[in-house]
Structure 1
Amino acid sequence: MIVIDGRVPDEAREITTGQANRVWYVDGPVSYVLKHYGDPARAANEAVALTLLTQHQAPAPQLLGADPGAQPAWTAQATVHAEPVPATQLLHELADPLAVVHRIRGSHVGRLAGARRHRTWRDYLRGRLDNYADAAPDLAHAAAVLSRELDVTDVDTEPRLLHHDLQPGHLVRSLSGRSLLLDWELAVFGDPLSDLARLAVRLDLPDPADVLHLTHRPAPAAGRRIHLYWRIHQLADAALSTDPVVQQRGRSRLS
């Protein structure tokens, strides 16, 4: 019987692509992907998200093991033999798996685990704006403008599961043709339009309304909400991104 304990086996092959975590492919009788996290809270959040997704038979990898309290924190996920969906087909193929995800109701607002829970979506967003202003004081005015707009925008919504890091590479197509969403460490419960707004930022779209077709029944105020979320995600990039290109693009968009 295979024992997965978070340690990197000698035969593991590193497949790290991001900046915050290290990732290995481990071959064997049971192959799996081992992920070490720079932030234990992200490990806890991804473990809970994957467990929830499995319960709902949603399009995501199966969690085989996790220990957010270890040094380093880790998860082990079932290997997905798949290829990334090309960016040119992303918006076409994302609709169905995203609809499954957005039907999953949340018990609270905010991260699933490893972070403070919020009473309302508005409270969560206001907290994010405060964090961005603290991280980049020169952007405090932009955060204040968005906070005032948040106060007069109807954002009350039943919390649903959001991936919250949609971008090319995170949607893959398995050999059987099934689409799966990877990398759930930033998942939150909130407004599905925020998922779409973040995707619009990642694709550098000039108008977030270009992705509104990914929600099946947009509310009458959806256009205003998605534009507000779009600008909040741009502020997040401008204040917190460790990638100079992404950070500068966020600042340029804000200005």
Structure 2
Amino acid sequence: MDGIDGCVPPSAREITTGQTNRVWSVEGPTPYILKHYGDPSRAANEAAALRLLTSHRAPCPQLLAASSGSSTPPWTAQAALHAKPVPIDRFLADLAEPLAAIHRIPGTHFGRLAGAQQHRSWTGYLHDRLRTYAAAAPALRAVARCLHQEVDASDTPIQPVLLHHDLQPGHLLREPAGSRLLIDWELAIFGDQRSDLARLAVRLDLDDPTPVLALASRADAAAEGRLHLYWRIHLLADAALSTDSAVRERAAGRLLGSSVT
């Protein structure tokens, strides 16, 4: 869009809340949210996800502009939203409809949409992630080996669908008209929808991921087994990669106290 170049206007108001990116609210004829990313692959991935979501008329912010591959820092500009986070006591109930719409969007591969390696199989994607986590947390390599084995044992054909992969309170907004929107798509991937639910269970700090199965399109014994497997993989991700020591310790403790010992 004309006039948006990724630079922070003097009148912009910083609204950064996380540790990875910086975010500003920019006023003007067309108000927008400007995000600067610490990781260019995340910027490319969020831009690709928003374009895909828009093509399917899915509940998400409108992408107004994005950086080219050579821009420093990488950035996106997204339409400002007149919306507020859904209260925590309404979160799961209000999440059901937008999440179902997202999980109906088919994928072309497994893994991130852009800026990272793409995989031909879901099993291949999971093994790649487990190798990354084991390299980052040598003390948990035995856990990673067990999870590798479980992934192989549960290998069945998976049709990839779009996953948000960072579901948590604060990322679901409600507009005044009542529409629900999901924001922050930089970690989106194509994969098994139950991985989205498992990551949500980790973000909700649940001791058992089973309650989030209410959001699944089909909940049976196989779905529950995969949910528990993905939940442990996401716990390993937090234990290995989180920048917050308290999150790492909590995830490791929960992981080592689960059945993968």
Alignment match, 2:31: 31
SS of the residue aligned with 2:253?
Answer: helix
Alignment match, 2:211: 210
- Comparing 219-228 with 157-166, greater Cα deviation is found at 219-228
SS of the residue aligned with 2:91?
Answer: helix
Counterparts of 2:151 and 2:181, CA distance in 1: 33
Q: In the alignment, residue 142 of structure 1 is paired with which amino acid?
A: V
Q: In the alignment, residue 219 of structure 2 is paired with which amino acid?
A: P
Alignment match, 1:78: 79
Alignment match, 1:230: 231
Alignment match, 1:239: 240
Alignment match, 1:221: 222
Shift of 1:74: 0.2
Counterparts of 2:184 and 2:82, CA distance in 1: 15
Shift of 1:68: 4.7
Q: Provide runs of 4+ in structure 1 moved above 6 Å.
A: none
Determine if the alignment matches structure 1 residue 154 to structure 2 residue 158. Answer: no
1:43/1:68 contact within 8 Å kept: no
The CA deviation string for residues 42-69 of structure 1, in whole angstroms up to 9 with x for no partner, is: 0000000000000000000000000152
SS of the residue aligned with 1:230?
Answer: helix
Counterparts of 2:83 and 2:68, CA distance in 1: 27
Counterparts of 1:68 and 1:138, CA distance in 2: 39
Shift of 1:242: 0.3
Alignment match, 2:108: 107
Determine if the alignment matches structure 1 residue 8 to structure 2 residue 8. Answer: yes
Q: In the alignment, residue 55 of structure 1 is paired with which amino acid?
A: S
SS of the residue aligned with 1:94?
Answer: helix
Alignment match, 1:55: 55
Once the two structures are superposed, the pairs formed by residues 140-219 of structure 1 within 5 Å of their partners are 140-219=141-220
1:49/1:112 contact within 8 Å kept: yes
Compute the TM-score of the two structures, normalised by the length of structure 2. Answer: 0.96
Q: How many positions carry a matched residue from both structures?
A: 255
Shift of 1:156: 2.5
Counterparts of 1:241 and 1:71, CA distance in 2: 24
User: CA 1:51–1:13 in 2, change beyond 3 Å: closer, same or farther?
Assistant: same
Question: Structure 2 regions of 5+ residues with no counterpart?
Answer: 257-261
- Comparing 38-47 with 59-68, greater Cα deviation is found at 59-68
SS of the residue aligned with 1:213?
Answer: helix
Shift of 1:94: 0.3
Q: How well do the aligned residues superpose, as a CA RMSD in angstroms?
A: 1.1
- Comparing 4-13 with 145-154, greater Cα deviation is found at 145-154
SS of the residue aligned with 1:247?
Answer: helix
The CA deviation string for residues 17-65 of structure 1, in whole angstroms up to 9 with x for no partner, is: 0000000000010000000000000000000000000000000000000
The CA deviation string for residues 100-149 of structure 1, in whole angstroms up to 9 with x for no partner, is: 00000001110000000001000000000000001111111110111111
The CA deviation string for residues 167-190 of structure 1, in whole angstroms up to 9 with x for no partner, is: 010001011111000000000000
Alignment match, 1:17: 17
- Comparing 18-27 with 204-213, greater Cα deviation is found at 204-213
Counterparts of 1:107 and 1:237, CA distance in 2: 27
User: CA 1:79–1:130 in 2, change beyond 3 Å: closer, same or farther?
Assistant: same
2:123/2:155 contact within 8 Å kept: no
